[in-house]
């Protein structure tokens, strides 16, 4: 159980870090802007499903190993749901309607939440090691 919990949290941490830090940058470097925007927009629902599944499984596995890690992973899981269900559609709507101010504010919030999730996953990993 111990090894599985570490692997799952490490996968969550690394996957979020790769998506946030490398995937978007690469998409905009390798594709034209319109294709990159569409591609990124289409991948976010899968990103959030990845975070939900991985944080949920990691939380269950960590419950038996470290309660602090468990609570941090539950926090990621619970706060990802409104990101996927409400924040992401609001960001897309702001982009579609050309509301740059709202888009900037909501996108900034999304970035802060994702960076916080990465930090929390790193802390959970540290608790398990």
Contact call for residues 106 and 94 (beta carbons, < 8 A) = yes
Is the full-model pTM beyond 0.85? yes
Domain ranges of the chain: 2-128
Contact call for residues 48 and 80 (beta carbons, < 8 A) = yes
Residue with the bigger pLDDT between 111 and 1: it is 111
Residues, the chain, total? 129
> From the centroid of its chain, how far is CA 45?
10
> From the centroid of its chain, how far is CA 77?
10
pLDDT digits (tens, 9 = 90+) for 55-103: 999 999 999 999 999 999 999 999 999 999 999 999 999 999 999 999 9
Radius of gyration of the chain (CA): 16
Task: Work out the pLDDT band at 24, boundaries 50, 70, 90.
Answer: confident
């Amino acid at each position: 159980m111990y090894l599985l919990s570490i692997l799952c949290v490490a996968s969550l941490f690394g996957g979020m870090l790769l998506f946030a830090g490398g995937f978007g940058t690469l998409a905009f470097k390798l594709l034209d802007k319109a294709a990159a925007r569409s591609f990124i927009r289409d991948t976010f629902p899968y990103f959030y499903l990845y975070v939900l599944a991985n944080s949920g499984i990691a939380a269950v596995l960590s419950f038996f190993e470290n309660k602090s890690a468990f609570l941090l992973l539950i926090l990621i899981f619970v706060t990802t749901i409104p990101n996927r269900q409400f924040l992401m559609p609001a960001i897309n709507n702001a982009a579609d309607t050309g509301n740059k101010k709202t888009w900037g504010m909501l996108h900034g919030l999304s970035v802060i939440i994702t960076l916080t999730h990465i930090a929390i996953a790193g802390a959970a990993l540290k608790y398990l090691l």
